[in-house]
Chain A
Amino acid sequence: MRGDESPAGSPADRPQDVLVCRDVHVRYGEVAALTDVSLRVGHGEVVALLGASGSGKSTLLNVVAGLVQPSSGEIWIGGRQAAGPAHSTAPEQRAVGMVFQNFALWPHLSVLDTVAYPLRRAGTPARAARATAAGLLDQLGIAHLAERRPAEISGGEQQRVGLARALARRARLYLLDEPTAHLDTHLRTAFQESVLARQRDTGAAVLYATHDAAEALALADRVALVDSGHLLQLAPPAVVYDEPVSLAAGALTGPCSVLTAAHVEPVGAGELSVDLGDGPVTVRGGHARPADARTGLPAAPGVLMVRPNWVELGGPFDGRVVSVAFRGPHTDYRLDHPAGSLLAALPGPARFAVGDRLRWGLSRAWLLGRDDSAAGAQPSAVIAPG
């Protein structure tokens, strides 16, 4: 499935796009690493690639960087074709900077020389390159590390050096490949903030690969959901979270439960009539676009996706508490209901115990496409992102 924009039209139609990928396929022998991926990244836009390990997001970054050649399809960077059927530009000639998961700092170069490296390759004299590099280090708050070697600084500092090196490239597009995967939680936030701050200053576009749903939702202007080499959905964070195109897409952005309703029907704008066996109730919500437009909306019975925070205390439905887990800001309850097993996140400490019965309602529900009816056959599924 494609992203949310039309793949038609040549890149020249939208000069504000820094990156255009069109129908990109990558195959390693028999293995398809990327299948039919099309996306655009606009000037100054932050797009997160969210997917599990091995989903193909790193491959996509490598294709954009020029480290992997697409089997077919086109890559346009800054309005110029970087890869296509007939030709491919070398990585060093593409206007992109990259930050690596493993930092990829050169052990034989000092921090200052590392950051000056891209400037030197661009032909800047050594003295000027070092001066510029020192300025970049200063902006990132690591000027005091200038003379150290990578082995002498911490992981968080190393990744800032990696970011400074990428910034020294003065590119219009930055590729960040799980830059926080090897950082502790507190360093992660600090690094994300420095990425965003530098991105606002430079107005550059960012393609940010991560397997952390919270990171993707918090950072990005738009989130691209990648699974098994396919681009499932490309939309703003709130949309991919609230309105996933499929159960797989929904599971990538956070925990969700699946309920099989006796009858579901869209009523009016943004409302669903839901019957979980106790008669129809009207709930705020909507439905995923059907995979095949001709089949129309999925017929009853329908498969509903419910986020834990969409479950309210008090309401038309009756449930039995199966498990309780206190999470700090809220408490997770697993509820049993004939329509399925439900994960509910209720604010505050635990107020119910295993075996208690409680009344619950839905502030929102999302009707999934027909593709997911198979998943609905096991109504006890509570799906959390890997």
Chain B
Amino acid sequence: MRGSARVGDRAALGVAALAIGALVVVPLVRLGQVLTEQHGSSLSRVLHGPGLADAAVHTALLVGTVPILAVTLGSAMALLLRHTDLPLRGMLLVLAVLPLVVPQFVLGYSWSQAYGRGGFTDSLLGLHWTGLEGPVGVIVVLVIDTAPLSFLLTTAGLATRAQPELEHAARLSGAGGWAVLRTVSLPLLRPVFAAELALSFVVTLESFAVPQVLGTPAGFSTLTTRIYADLALASDPDSFVDAVTLAAALVVVAAVVLVPADLVLAPKLRAARTAGAGGVRTALRGRGRGVAGALAISGYTVLAVGLPTVALVAASVTRAVGLPPTPSNWTSANFRTALNAPTIDAIGNSIWLAGCAAFALTALGALVAALERRRAGRALGTAATLTFAIPGSALAVGLLIAYGRWLGGTLALILVAYLAKFLALAHRAASGAVDRLPDAEWQAARTSGARPAVAATTVWLPALGPALLAGWLLVFLGALHEVTMSSLLYSVDNQTLAVAVLNSQELGEVGATAALSVVLTALMLGAGLPVWLGLRAMSRRRTGRARAQRALPLSTPETAGAR
């Protein structure tokens, strides 16, 4: 019995290690190999070629500004929304994370449709923003795209903080609202802020769609858009060497910044997380401030997402560019043109790929999370987390080198890319939940007569269900709108919806691009909303009592427990 269990363990460990090796390690090693095999001359030609330094500087500009701005914006919203007396608090929470369900490409494109030359505000009010296409526009849209991540992490950090009374203690020590924020709330969030900065750094470093849509037309190239230009638009050997070099550079930059950050941060974050701690909501007075905060968040969402979405929808139903989006100019022709046979195929491909990736990674993520609880599996968990830091463009180039000979131009290669890129998401979701499972529940099941397999299915699985479903959803949505890697790996016969949108935009077909963007966003919402509602229902059933307690303002667990 014991022997066979151990063999099973080993086999599981082997499967997980093999998967991570094939998905991530092999492509990166091959990337490095190809780079070192290059002749010095072609490498130096690439390094001294035109525009490379520009792309590097532009990327540096983005990673130097976007993370700090996004963390500031997202955390400010999270801190503001913590106040219970904010009117329509629940709705504001949803508004704050709304940009997450809008694909990067769609967000960038809808901004150009809303505020660009000949866009929505231009045709209605004669106002347009000339800086939108260029560095400032790229930075602004990337900040809007990234801020919800910070918002979610800060909100979680506030909710899971070890002690609910730390702010009360400060107030009873004579600290006013601002002093509490400055001396207690913000210092306690420091590790969370650092984690947010690291995450935003990765997201910005590998961002491709926004710079492509808003930067490329203005000649603002980044490492990722240049890789795309090298591989998708050019065909000479130097371009390939250029792409490989840039991909390697992306990996090196990510590793140099993130590995030390992870080594320093991970233990601190783990220490800050204490089981069974309730959230704190300080009911600060000042209704006026609450209303102002609610207005600020709503106004921001309207400008950042609402109006651009309206502009996008308007563009998708308007007959021709430049016409005002009034009912007399409405048409369904854009959708009819856009939804041709290849696009329908692409939609099918996207759903099929996203579904496969989501199911496979939910299983693999859960496996790694379970193995991580043992000493032998810990390295595996770290590896799975670190894969997130590998920029998508670099991963795609590596996969192309490693497996292109056999899988080049097939959907299978795109699927492999999704598996490699989104493993970290599925793993994080599962391991967060596994971490919170008390050992005692497992031990109680075992001492009640359950074999390990039975204990896992009867005690762990029900507890992990919501987390696994959430991980599934993250992967599915992420893969559905993935464009960075897909645009490097697709072929004419095998493309995805996101690639179709990108190509349509490059052809300058405004109406069709807007229509496809609407379809893509609708798919995201159509897949995401039911699952998300199901998740909420599940978590409400699970934590119904705890939630009811927390609904009482400032009630301690003690006072609320008896009622």
Q: Which residues of A contact B (CB under 8 A)?
A: 28-29, 31, 33, 52-56, 58-59, 62, 65-69, 88, 90-92, 96-98, 100-108, 117-118, 121-122, 151, 162, 165-166, 168-169, 175, 178
- Asked whether A92 and B555 contact (CB < 8 A) given A106-B188, A108-B187, A108-B190, the answer is no
- Asked whether A96 and B554 contact (CB < 8 A) given A59-B559, A102-B165, the answer is no
Cα distance, A67 to B184, chains bound together (Å): 17
Cα distance, A117 to B283, chains bound together (Å): 22
Q: Which of B172, B184, B553, B561 contacts A53 (CB 8 A)?
A: B561
Does B174 interact with chain A (Cβ within 8 Å)?
Answer: yes
Q: Which of B173, B555, B561 contacts A59 (CB 8 A)?
A: B555
Give residues of chain B (541-563) contacting chain A, Cβ–Cβ below 8 Å.
552-556, 558-563
Measured between C-beta atoms, what is the minimum distance from B168 to chain A in Å? 5
Measured between C-beta atoms, what is the minimum distance from A137 to chain B in Å? 16
Q: Assess the B174–A54 pair: CB atoms within 8 A.
A: no
- Stretch of B144-152, B175-183, B527-535 at the chain-chain interface: B175-183
Cα distance, A52 to B272, chains bound together (Å): 31
Q: Which of A58, A104, A165, A168 contacts B559 (CB 8 A)?
A: A58
Q: Assess the B562–A53 pair: CB atoms within 8 A.
A: yes
Residues of A within 8 A of B563 (CB): 31, 33, 54
Residues of B within 8 A of A117 (CB): 170, 173, 175, 183
A-B contact pairs, 12 of them (CB 8 A): A59-B559, A66-B171, A96-B172, A98-B168, A98-B169, A102-B164, A104-B165, A104-B168, A108-B187, A108-B190, A117-B175, A165-B173
Q: Assess the B562–A54 pair: CB atoms within 8 A.
A: yes
* Most chain A C-beta atoms within 10 Å of own C-beta, residue among B184, B285, B556, B559: B559
Q: Assess the B173–A107 pair: CB atoms within 8 A.
A: no
Q: Assess the B556–A58 pair: CB atoms within 8 A.
A: yes
Cα distance, A105 to B168, chains bound together (Å): 11
Q: Assess the B166–A169 pair: CB atoms within 8 A.
A: no
Residues of A within 8 A of B163 (CB): 102-105
**Chain A residue with the shortest CB-CB distance to B560:** A54
* Most chain B C-beta atoms within 10 Å of own C-beta, residue among A55, A90, A96: A90
Summed over the interface, the residue pairs from A and B with CB atoms below 8 Å come to a total of 109
Q: Which of B172, B179, B558 contacts A169 (CB 8 A)?
A: B172
Does B440 interact with chain A (Cβ within 8 Å)?
Answer: no
Residues of B within 8 A of A52 (CB): 562
Q: Assess the B555–A33 pair: CB atoms within 8 A.
A: yes
Measured between C-beta atoms, what is the minimum distance from A356 to chain B in Å? 41
Residues of B within 8 A of A56 (CB): 559
Measured between C-beta atoms, what is the minimum distance from A132 to chain B in Å? 13
Q: Assess the A100–B173 pair: CB atoms within 8 A.
A: no
Q: Sorted from nearest, which 6 A-B pairs have the closest CB atoms? A: A54-B562, A121-B174, A118-B173, A104-B165, A91-B171, A104-B169
Residues of A within 8 A of B558 (CB): 53-54, 58, 101, 178
**Chain B residue with the shortest CB-CB distance to A151:** B271
Cα distance, A223 to B509, chains bound together (Å): 81
Does B162 interact with chain A (Cβ within 8 Å)?
Answer: yes
Residues of A within 8 A of B179 (CB): 92, 121
Give residues of chain B (187-240) contacting chain A, Cβ–Cβ below 8 Å.
187-188, 190
Q: Assess the A54–B559 pair: CB atoms within 8 A.
A: yes
Measured between C-beta atoms, what is the minimum distance from B312 to chain A in Å? 42
Contact size range, B: 35 or more
Q: Which of B174, B175, B187, B559 contacts A33 (CB 8 A)?
A: B559
- Asked whether A67 and B168 contact (CB < 8 A) given A92-B174, A92-B176, the answer is yes
Q: Assess the B188–A169 pair: CB atoms within 8 A.
A: no
Q: How does the 8 Å CB contact mask read for B266-310 relative to A, with 1 for contact and 0 for none?
A: 000001100000000001010000000000000000000000000
**Chain A residue with the shortest CB-CB distance to B180:** A92
Q: Which of B164, B172, B188 contacts A108 (CB 8 A)?
A: B188
Measured between C-beta atoms, what is the minimum distance from A364 to chain B in Å? 33
Q: How does the 8 Å CB contact mask read for B469-507 relative to A, with 1 for contact and 0 for none?
A: 000000000000000000000000000000000000000
Q: Assess the A90–B171 pair: CB atoms within 8 A.
A: yes
**Chain B residue with the shortest CB-CB distance to A117:** B173
Residues of B within 8 A of A108 (CB): 187-188, 190
* Most chain A C-beta atoms within 10 Å of own C-beta, residue among B165, B188, B558: B558
Measured between C-beta atoms, what is the minimum distance from B178 to chain A in Å? 11
Cα distance, A31 to B162, chains bound together (Å): 28
Residues of B within 8 A of A165 (CB): 169, 173
* A53-B558, A54-B561, A90-B176 known, 13 other contacts, Cβ within 8 Å: A29-B552, A31-B552, A54-B562, A56-B559, A67-B171, A92-B172, A103-B163, A104-B163, A104-B168, A106-B184, A117-B173, A165-B173, A169-B174
Cα distance, A59 to B558, chains bound together (Å): 9
Residues of A within 8 A of B171 (CB): 66-67, 90-92
Measured between C-beta atoms, what is the minimum distance from B281 to chain A in Å? 12
Residues of B within 8 A of A107 (CB): 162, 188, 272
Residues of B within 8 A of A65 (CB): 168, 172
Q: Assess the A121–B173 pair: CB atoms within 8 A.
A: yes
* Most chain A C-beta atoms within 10 Å of own C-beta, residue among B162, B171, B179, B561: B171
Q: Assess the A67–B554 pair: CB atoms within 8 A.
A: yes
Residues of A within 8 A of B561 (CB): 53-54
Cα distance, A21 to B559, chains bound together (Å): 19
Residues of A within 8 A of B165 (CB): 100, 102, 104
Measured between C-beta atoms, what is the minimum distance from A126 to chain B in Å? 13
Measured between C-beta atoms, what is the minimum distance from B432 to chain A in Å? 21
Cα distance, A166 to B165, chains bound together (Å): 14
Cα distance, A106 to B166, chains bound together (Å): 6
* Most chain A C-beta atoms within 10 Å of own C-beta, residue among B173, B187, B554, B562: B173
- Asked whether A118 and B174 contact (CB < 8 A) given A54-B558, A58-B556, A68-B554, the answer is yes
Measured between C-beta atoms, what is the minimum distance from A83 to chain B in Å? 12
Give residues of chain B (359-416) contacting chain A, Cβ–Cβ below 8 Å.
none
Cα distance, A67 to B166, chains bound together (Å): 12
Cα distance, A122 to B179, chains bound together (Å): 11
Q: Assess the A92–B175 pair: CB atoms within 8 A.
A: yes
Residues of A within 8 A of B170 (CB): 106, 117
